[in-house]
């Protein structure tokens, strides 16, 4: 059973053809809230079914954004039942292992930023979505603006659809964005190597005890070891470097030869505390390179009929405000509710975009400033001071 409101045909926009490109957290939330309000939509997702399971690590879902969207989607209680409140544990150290901050989530006290794995979040959203509203294996190749304001969508598998509204929820490398703005994603100056320590509590109890049930940030020398315990028991580790854009291709680290790759990666952290080096030593064989990209801070565009963007497609930022998924879901909620309120499609999109620019530009600015702080001098000390200031103003 899906949680649909009655009288769907009397709702504004109930009979428009709306296509959402991308079935990540943003696209799924949008389709689900539209469904609740009796508005038809279809998600086109390029990946095959069940592909969301292992896409990315643990995400903290904020009370004033991601959780608001889950409430609109009718899933807040179901989320609260599976969210990891203990995942708010946080340890901040420098390369010597000196502790600057240690936060331990208390017993049954529920914080406002509980964690959930990306795969579990997508499964939760999918659990209430009418399966006919998502089509897997449909990779958008091109969207073409038609004279009457509609858009023709062309897919790799030959499928063509013509829609009244296309929403680009297709992430960092959006194929919809270029119809709205000439701005493109830029390399942020940060590259990461992702490692995974499997079943940490059982196999590496020393590292599990050190890491705690949430996140560990070790910051020094314009580098970082960032770690987070995931719901499936693994510790996801991001070795993070300020580096030229081509560094991941030219550093000579053979990612397909894990033992040698880990030996070379350890060299970058040669004078770091032994406990921190264990994040590399204990890691499994799957090593994933990641360049971090961003859109210009405060990006806006001239609103156009029949097309808009949500989530990373609209405002990709580095992960250092911890807002990416939260904004994607908030955008989804704001756009859906605007479509419910406004009979006029153009007005609905304009109203959403205006609101979205306001909150997303602030997060993009914070994220950019945090990146500079975390990879600058005396980073652990400065990040601790920033958290103190934020707590005082909370």
Segment 276 to 335, residues that bind ligand FAD, using CB under 6 A:
290, 311-312, 319, 322-326, 328
State the minimum distance, in angstroms, from the CB of residue 10 to ligand FAD. 30
Binding of ligand FAD by 59 (CB under 6 A): yes
Rule CB under 6 A: choose which of 16, 42, 47, 245 binds ligand FAD. 47
Nearer to ligand FAD, 8 or 51 (CB): 51
Binding of ligand FAD by 119 (CB under 6 A): no
Nearer to ligand FAD, 153 or 253 (CB): 153
Strand partners, 33: none
Nearer to ligand FAD, 28 or 340 (CB): 28
Nearer to ligand FAD, 14 or 76 (CB): 76
Alpha helices in the chain (DSSP H): 25-36, 66-72, 76-82, 118-127, 200-203, 205-211, 247-250, 258-268, 274-281, 312-315, 324-341, 345-374, 379-393
State the minimum distance, in angstroms, from the CB of residue 1 to ligand FAD. 25
Binding of ligand FAD by 237 (CB under 6 A): no
State the minimum distance, in angstroms, from the CB of residue 327 to ligand FAD. 7
Rule CB under 6 A: choose which of 18, 19, 20, 21 binds ligand FAD. 21
Rule CB under 6 A: choose which of 32, 68, 105, 140 binds ligand FAD. 140
Query: CA-CA distance, 257 to 108, in Å (whole number)?
Result: 44
Give every strand in the sheet of 18-21, ordered side by side.
Answer: 134-136, 42-45, 18-21, 165-168, 307-309
State the minimum distance, in angstroms, from the CB of residue 316 to ligand FAD. 7
Q: What is the x/- site pattern for ligand FAD, positions 244-283, by CB under 6 A?
A: ----------------------------------------
State the minimum distance, in angstroms, from the CB of residue 313 to ligand FAD. 6
Rule CB under 6 A: choose which of 37, 39, 44, 210 binds ligand FAD. 44
State the CB neighbour count (10 A cutoff) for residue 40: 19
What DSSP letter does each residue of 32-88 carry, written as one string?
HHHHHTT---EEEESSPTTGGGGSS-EEE--TTTHHHHHHHTT-HHHHHHH-BGGGG
State the minimum distance, in angstroms, from the CB of residue 362 to ligand FAD. 15
**8-state DSSP, 234:** P
Yes or no: say if 74 and 33 are a contact pair by the CB < 8 Å rule. Answer: no
Nearer to ligand FAD, 11 or 365 (CB): 365
Nearer to ligand FAD, 11 or 245 (CB): 245
Binding of ligand FAD by 114 (CB under 6 A): no
State the CB neighbour count (10 A cutoff) for residue 108: 6
Size of residue set near ligand FAD by CB under 6 A: 31
Q: What is the x/- site pattern for ligand FAD, positions 172-211, by CB under 6 A?
A: ---x------------------------------------
Binding of ligand FAD by 139 (CB under 6 A): yes
Nearer to ligand FAD, 25 or 212 (CB): 25
State the minimum distance, in angstroms, from the CB of residue 343 to ligand FAD. 27
Query: CA-CA distance, 170 to 357, in Å (whole number)?
Result: 18
Pairing of the two strands 90-93 and 215-220: parallel
What b/e readout covers 71-90, taking b as 16+ CB neighbours within 10 angstroms? ebbebbeebeeebbbbbbbb
Please state whether 125 falls in left (phi above 0), alpha (psi between -120 and 50) or beta: alpha
Count of alpha carbons within 13 angstroms of residue 127, beta-carbon side: 12
Sign, CA dihedral 149-10-78-136, equals negative
Q: Which of 339, 295, 330, 292 is nearest to 310 (CA)?
A: 330
Query: CA-CA distance, 329 to 29, in Å (whole number)?
Result: 6
Piece in contact with ligand FAD (CB under 6 A), picked from 31-39, 56-64, 205-213, 264-272 = 56-64
Query: CA-CA distance, 99 to 234, in Å (whole number)?
Result: 23
Residues contributing to the site for ligand FAD (CB under 6 A) = 21-27, 44-47, 56, 59-60, 139-140, 169-171, 175, 238, 290, 311-312, 319, 322-326, 328
């Amino acid at each position: 059973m899906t949680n649909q409101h009655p009288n769907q045909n009397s709702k504004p926009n109930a009979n428009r053809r709306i296509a959402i490109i991308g079935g990540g957290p943003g696209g799924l939330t949008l389709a689900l809230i539209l469904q609740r309000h009796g508005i038809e939509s279809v998600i086109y997702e390029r990946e095959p079914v069940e592909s969301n399971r292992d896409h990315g690590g643990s995400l903290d879902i904020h009370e004033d954004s991601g959780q608001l969207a889950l409430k609109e989607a009718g899933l807040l209680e179901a989320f609260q039942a599976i969210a990891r409140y203990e995942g708010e544990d946080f340890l901040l150290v420098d390369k010597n292992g000196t502790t600057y901050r240690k936060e331990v989530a208390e017993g049954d006290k529920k914080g406002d930023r509980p964690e959930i794995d990306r795969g579990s979040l997508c499964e939760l959203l999918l659990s209430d979505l009418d399966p006919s509203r998502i089509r897997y294996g449909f990779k958008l190749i091109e969207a073409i603006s038609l004279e009457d304001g509609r858009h023709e969508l062309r897919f790799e598998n030959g499928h063509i659809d013509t829609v009244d509204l296309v929403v680009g929820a297709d992430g960092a490398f959006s194929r919809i964005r270029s119809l709205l703005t000439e701005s493109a994603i830029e390399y942020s100056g940060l590259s990461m190597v992702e490692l995974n320590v499997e079943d940490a509590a059982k196999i590496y109890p020393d590292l599990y005890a050190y890491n705690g049930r949430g996140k560990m940030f070790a910051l020094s020398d314009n580098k970082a070891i960032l770690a987070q315990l995931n719901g499936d028991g693994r510790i996801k580790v991001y070795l993070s470097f300020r580096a030229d854009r081509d560094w991941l291709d030219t550093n000579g680290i053979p990612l397909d030869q894990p033992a040698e790759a880990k030996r070379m990666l350890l060299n970058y952290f040669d004078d770091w505390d032994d406990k921190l080096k264990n994040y590399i030593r204990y890691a499994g064989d799957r090593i994933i390179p990641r360049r971090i990209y961003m859109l210009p801070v405060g990006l806006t565009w001239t609103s156009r009929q029949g097309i808009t963007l949500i989530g990373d497609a609209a405002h990709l930022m580095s992960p250092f405000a911890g807002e990416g998924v939260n904004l994607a879901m908030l955008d989804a909620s704001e756009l859906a509710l605007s479509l419910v309120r406004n009979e006029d499609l153009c007005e609905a999109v304009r109203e959403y975009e205006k609101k979205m620019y306001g909150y997303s530009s602030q997060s993009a600015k914070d994220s950019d400033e945090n990146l500079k702080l975390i990879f600058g001098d005396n980073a652990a000390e400065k990040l601790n001071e920033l958290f103190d200031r934020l707590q005082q103003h909370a």
